[in-house]
Amino acid sequence: MTSKYQPIGLSILLLGLSSVSGLAQPPNFGSLTISTNHTSGRLSGTIAGATSLPAIVSNTDLHQNKCLGFGDPNPDHTLILKQDMPLLTLQVNSGGADTTLVVQGSDGSVRCGDDTDTNKDARITDTNWKLGTYKVWVGAKVPGVRRDYTLTIRQ
């Protein structure tokens, strides 16, 4: 016996599953694990996309820095910290493009980085990084920019 509500229930279930799968997207360009024995590393990727990164994550980070930039809706990288890190630096090298960084921890914490006074490439240097998995987006100041980059992460 079928119910007249069965198609509606199935539609809601499928919609819910598609939403969950969107949350669990793998990174576009790979991951890096930082631990006591592996204190730094490099990842490569390509900035591409026109999605507002603040709209995905947050307008400001835990230090009230503005989150800026445009990129892909899926994170570019995953950073896995095997233990708490007292200090961590993430540095983009795109050859001088105006880049941005957005990092979201599994605890919901957000860190955002922009360029420095001497370099248009984005950097985040911060303390008290907690053990866990972080989503990392590398973006551009304007939508639609396509640029290769290297992301260096070190303690």
With contact defined as beta carbons under 8 Å apart, do 78 and 24 qualify? no
Q: Which one is the CATH code of 27-154: 2.60.120.380, 3.40.50.460, 3.40.50.300, 1.10.150.20?
A: 2.60.120.380
Answer whether 0.85 is exceeded by the pTM. no
Write the single-letter amino acid at 105.
G
Q: Which helix (H) or strand (E) holds 129?
A: strand 123-129
Q: Mean pLDDT of successive 10-residue segments in the chain (155 residues)? A: 49 39 72 94 96 97 97 97 97 95 97 88 97 98 95 97
With contact defined as beta carbons under 8 Å apart, do 149 and 93 qualify? yes
Tokens of 128: 């008290």
Output the pLDDT for position 10.
39
With contact defined as beta carbons under 8 Å apart, do 57 and 110 qualify? yes
Output the pLDDT for position 116.
75
With contact defined as beta carbons under 8 Å apart, do 111 and 126 qualify? yes
